[in-house]
Amino acid sequence: QVQLVESGGGLVQAGGSLRLSCAASGRTFSNYAMGWFRQAPGKEREFVAAISRSAGSTYYANSVKGRFGISRDNAKNTVYLQMNSLKPEDTAVYYCAAGGSRWVYARYNTYDYWGQGTQVTVSE
């Protein structure tokens, strides 16, 4: 089992920045690729960003490319999502997830473990 706990969400004005963190415990963190997804009210969960086990590869949704950055610190068992130039349409609950052997970066059903989520609200 891998336990994931997100933090860093909150309320920010449009154009501002937030950094989300996801702390992992349990099995060896570096064995898992990590991803961030988000879900807005009334919408399906959507892929935001992902990073490979060694951090050698990163992936982004087109909607966040150039504004968001994903990184990980395997020594701290933590993955981060730096969010800049935030827009009201970025408002959602953000979830981190850990993917093992089935991992396909943008497919939520290939991730094995999920956090509880953290709310991000971007005001006009």
- Condensed to tens digits (0 to 9), the pLDDT of residues 76-93 reads 999 999 999 999 999 999
Provide CB contacts within 8 A for 104, sequence distance 6+: 110
* pLDDT tens digit sequence for 10-29: 999 999 999 999 999 988 99
Average pLDDT over every residue of 67-78 = 97
Coil vs helix vs strand at 53: coil
Average pLDDT, the chain: 96
Residue 113, pLDDT above cutoff 90:
yes
For CA atoms 106, 68, 80, 22, give the dihedral sign: negative
pLDDT band at 95 (very low <50, low <70, confident <90, very high): very high
**Distance of alpha carbon 78 from alpha carbon 76, whole angstroms:** 5
> Which residue in 37, 36, 4, 44 sits closest to 22, CA to CA?
4
φ/ψ of residue 27, rounded to 5: -75, 170
**Distance of alpha carbon 35 from alpha carbon 103, whole angstroms:** 10
Angle of CA points 91, 80, 90, to nearest 5°: 10
